[in-house]
């Protein structure tokens, strides 16, 4: 990971104002020249970070994207760079989706009953169909930073992937499972906002859901000028 995370112009290190060029590494981010900077929901926007924020993006870093789109690699990336990172589980014995649900049920900010981390790389529980980044998107964007004692300047991440590759991954994960028992099958049985039970019969239905989520995330984060949204193409 040293190759990808070294003295970034966009991020401060875990515990310092400026990155340490000797120990920190850099997240390779899209540029306006390399991606479509328009409102294409299937490609990362390259103009979401103003130059005035280069070197000032601070934790917590929260991935609002979907499973099988680089969340494990993102987790490894931040952990390699020295950040306290969590993936899928936000407590030793609880999934992130579970502690977020408990927090909301008790009237707390979304991460109120989750353990502290500088990076949360996967909030949902995949095949089980619990997606707090969908159901509680606005609450996470509104309340996350305040809950953890940070100033209101959250950094949110949105990862993009070729839809055919994503669909192929969903329909073959976990590898070796019997037909009808892959992640895509579990999601078809779930009832997620914008993706009701029975949806997910083909690539287009998953692609439409992804596109709708991307637009919701952009709108939610854009409503908070102090927040930052970093979009990344993983292909």
Q: What is the pLDDT of residue 226?
A: 77
Write down the pLDDT at residue 16.
34
Dihedral pair phi/psi, residue 221, rounded to 5°: -75, -35
* Other beta carbons less than 10 A from residue 144's beta carbon: 21
Distance CA 215, CA 157 (A): 13
pTM: 0.81
- CA-nearest of 11, 4, 1 to 76 is 1
Return per-residue pLDDT of the chain as tens, 235 residues. 332 332 233 454 443 333 333 333 333 433 333 334 345 899 999 888 877 777 888 888 999 999 999 999 999 999 999 999 999 999 999 999 999 999 999 999 999 999 999 999 999 999 999 999 999 999 999 875 454 454 557 799 999 999 999 999 999 999 999 999 999 999 999 999 999 999 999 999 999 999 999 999 999 998 887 789 999 999 9
Nearest to 46 by CA among 57, 32, 33: 32
Output the pLDDT for position 51.
76
DSSP-derived secondary structure letter, 121: E
SS3 of residue 91 by DSSP: strand
Structure tokens at 137: 């998107």
For the beta carbon of residue 38, count every other beta carbon within 10 angstroms.
9
């Amino acid at each position: 990971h040293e190759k990808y995370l070294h003295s970034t112009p966009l991020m401060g290190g875990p515990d310092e104002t400026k990155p340490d060029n000797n120990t920190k590494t850099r997240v390779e981010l899209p540029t306006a020249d390399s991606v479509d900077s328009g409102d294409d929901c299937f490609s990362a926007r390259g103009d979401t970070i103003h130059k005035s924020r280069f070197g000032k993006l601070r934790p917590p870093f929260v991935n609002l994207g979907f499973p099988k789109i680089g969340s494990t690699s993102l987790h490894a990336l931040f952990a390699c760079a020295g950040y306290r990172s969590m993936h899928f589980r936000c407590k030793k014995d609880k999934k992130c989706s579970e502690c977020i649900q408990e927090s909301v049920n008790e009237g707390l900010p979304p991460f109120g009953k989750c353990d502290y981390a500088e990076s949360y790389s996967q909030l949902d529980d995949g095949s089980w169909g619990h997606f707090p980044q969908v159901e509680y998107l606005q609450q996470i964007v509104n309340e996350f930073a305040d809950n953890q004692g940070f100033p209101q300047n959250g950094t949110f991440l949105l990862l993009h992937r070729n839809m055919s590759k994503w669909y192929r991954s969903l329909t073959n994960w976990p590898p070796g499972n019997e037909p009808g028992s892959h992640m895509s099958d579990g999601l078809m049985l779930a009832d997620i906002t914008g993706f009701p039970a029975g949806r997910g019969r083909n690539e287009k239905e998953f692609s439409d859901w992804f596109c709708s989520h991307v637009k919701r995330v952009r709108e939610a984060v854009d409503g908070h000028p102090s927040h930052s949204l970093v979009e990344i193409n993983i292909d």
